[in-house]
Structure 1
Amino acid sequence: MPPDPNLSAPLRHLRGEPPPAPGWFRDAVAVAPETGRIAVKGAGIETLAWGERGRPGLMLLHGSGAHAGWWRFTAPYLADSYRVAALSWSGMGGSDWRESYDLDTFADEIEAVAEEAGLFAGAAPVMVGHSFGCFPMLIEAGREAGRWRGAVIVDPPIFSPERRTGRRREDGRFSPHRVYPTLEEALARFRFAPMQPCEALYIADLIARESLREVDGGWSWRFDPSLWARLALPDRAEMVAAARCPLALVTGARSDLMRPADAAYVQGLLPPGSARIDLPEAYHHVMVDQPLAFVAGLRALLAVWPNG
């Protein structure tokens, strides 16, 4: 059966034209973030920030192959109460690529960006990590007690023991990116990983455009295709157990990455009574699927959690 074009190529039918967007989205992306670039272990790291310095700090950490711009349509709705910062991991977005990658270096990137953005100026800040972004976040959360007030794990790729036995391991090989002659052709190839429906095509269009760069011969993706072949991950349950700040879990009720058994498994790894939010009608990319519900859930969570 041929792949569903609504999943494998959600923007193809637009032929390179931006789709219409609602007012809340236009208002959010019209809020220009502070843009910056800092060096971390020899690599330039792209940064975005919103909100006044001195407010409680909030660090937003994106998933694999994504970039800091994945937060541009939600961060402004958090910046009225928080000093919000986001980064593009090395090897992704507008940040430099490295010869090799490790979670400790990614965690160093979190610290450096948080310091530069002023997140540590007042009370201890909170981290929010989506998908792959949970892993460096958990390493950082295990480093120093009291440095972070809490860490929110959003639909993490942490699987139950039963599901892990059936998953194929990567063999370390990778393919270089294709070069597309036109921006229209490149946008037509954008898809989510894992593939999922997307009703908010205006969000998909925004993040797809910011995922591309102009190169000799056309357009190509900005992330390093060799990253996963050069990165080893420690035991994921041990990373959760090693955290030295409170953890909360956010899941997409329709996620095909983190299924109900996986969510129950991760919930069981957290201390009893840890906060949990399950977003109805959200797939794995919860900030794309239900952006306003995601913002409302974070606001409510951070108003009461963690205690003290």
Structure 2
Amino acid sequence: MDATSDAPESRYYQSQGLRLHFTDWGNPSAPPLILIHGGLDHARSWDHPARALRANFHVVAPDLRGHGQSAWATGSSYSLADHVYDLTCLVKSSGFEQVALVGHSMGGMVSLTYAGAFPQKVSRLVVLDGVTNFPARRVKPADVRIADWAGDLDKFAQRKIHRYASVADGAERILHRNPRLARAQAMHLATHGLKQNADGTYSWKFDPYLRARAPYRLSLEDHVELWSRIACPTLLVSASESFLPDPEKAGVLKHFKQAELAKIAGAGHWLQHDKPDEVLGLLKGFLDPPRS
């Protein structure tokens, strides 16, 4: 899966003074497609669909700030708006006029927000189990959010970084969280998700402060307004065994101009890993690259 001749190129760009990383799968003359991972994940989790889609697209996959090979944002609470701004910098620095976006989980929210704020920049949008705001959701009062956030920051300041004896031990942790994965998948995710420490142990690459949710966030009304501004064809993909609600039952679809829903049976939240071929089939059918 990681043959050197088949691996993407590592590239970097700047945003808010941070050095951010992305993988570039080549084919620059093709239409650009950006794959955006979810929280505590990394760009190389997209390797399976990226390899299959690069024949017709210029596929790039960023490591969001605080993840993978990207810099940690010291003192930042990693807001949705920061991730969206980073995406604008990636698009601009790459010279892309218009892009197709595929986002998973938090990456789906980044994609939805970007597409609503800059509808002219997005040609097609796919969100994999990533609608995390919905009409029935109850939001904590502002004072509670701030108190929770402050408590989390204090807790993470005292937290010791977990260390694994080997990459295989990290893979076991991933398998524990998602037993649907094949062991080879877990090893791939751990290989690219862990860094080696000076003492020879391994720790996750992501910044532990990513777990502290910013108390300042867009309201549900803000999200609904952004969804209504999305001009491109949109595919929302849900998983039958996800902890997130079904977008259709949650009343989300009515807020989009042209959105459709697909459901993946027998998959949890990480549906692109649980049912990779089914998800890839949906992506290929929906993205429908222009033929020369």
Tell whether the structures are fold-level matches, with TM greater than 0.5: yes
Q: How far apart are 1:164 and its partner, in Å?
A: 4.5
Q: Which amino acid aligns with 2:218?
A: P
| 1:76 alignment partner in structure 2 | 51
Q: How far apart are 1:273 and its partner, in Å?
A: 5.1
Task: Check if 1:97 corresponds to 2:72.
Answer: yes
- The equivalent position to 2:164 in structure 1, one of 167, 175, 180, is 180
| 1:65 alignment partner in structure 2 | 40
Q: How many residues align?
A: 272
* Distance in 1 of aligned mates of 2:279 and 2:3: 14
Which stretches of structure 1, 4 residues or more, deviate above 4 A after TM superposition?
27-30, 159-166
* Distance in 2 of aligned mates of 1:259 and 1:149: 26
- The equivalent position to 1:130 in structure 2, one of 91, 104, 118, is 104
Q: Which amino acid aligns with 1:248?
A: L
Q: Which amino acid aligns with 1:137?
A: S
| 1:294 alignment partner in structure 2 | 279
Gaps of 5+ in 2: none
- The equivalent position to 2:209 in structure 1, one of 226, 236, 258, is 226
* Distance in 2 of aligned mates of 1:236 and 1:30: 45
Q: Which amino acid aligns with 1:302?
A: L
Question: Which is worse superposed, 284-293 or 226-235?
Answer: 226-235
Task: Check if 1:249 corresponds to 2:236.
Answer: yes
| 1:171 alignment partner in structure 2 | 148
SS at structure 2 position matched to 1:234: coil
Q: Which amino acid aligns with 1:46?
A: H
Cα distance change, pair 165–205 in 1 and its aligned pair in 2 (3 A): same
Q: How far apart are 1:62 and its partner, in Å?
A: 0.3
Q: Normalising by the residue count of structure 2, what TM-score does the alignment of the two structures yield?
A: 0.81
Say which structure is richer in helix. Answer: 2
Cα distance change, pair 150–182 in 1 and its aligned pair in 2 (3 A): closer
Q: How far apart are 1:133 and its partner, in Å?
A: 0.8
Q: Normalising by the residue count of structure 1, what TM-score does the alignment of the two structures yield?
A: 0.78
> What do the CA deviations read for 1:61-98 (whole angstroms, capped 9, x no partner)?
00000010111121010111111111011111111111
Question: Which is worse superposed, 263-272 or 82-91?
Answer: 263-272
Q: How far apart are 1:114 and its partner, in Å?
A: 2.5
On the 8 A contact 2:135/2:220 being kept in 1, the answer is: no
Q: Percent identity?
A: 26
SS at structure 2 position matched to 1:146: helix
SS at structure 1 position matched to 2:132: coil
> What do the CA deviations read for 1:146-165 (whole angstroms, capped 9, x no partner)?
11123222102525555648
| 1:88 alignment partner in structure 2 | 63
On the 8 A contact 2:26/2:54 being kept in 1, the answer is: yes
* Distance in 1 of aligned mates of 2:136 and 2:92: 40
* Distance in 2 of aligned mates of 1:285 and 1:230: 21
Question: Which is worse superposed, 149-158 or 296-305?
Answer: 296-305
Compute the RMSD of aligned alpha carbons: 2.9
Q: Which amino acid aligns with 1:225?
A: P
Q: How far apart are 1:138 and its partner, in Å?
A: 2.4
Gaps of 5+ in 1: 1-25
Cα distance change, pair 133–176 in 1 and its aligned pair in 2 (3 A): farther
Q: How far apart are 1:272 and its partner, in Å?
A: 6.0
Q: How far apart are 1:228 and its partner, in Å?
A: 3.2
- The equivalent position to 2:96 in structure 1, one of 110, 119, 124, is 119
* Distance in 2 of aligned mates of 1:117 and 1:294: 27
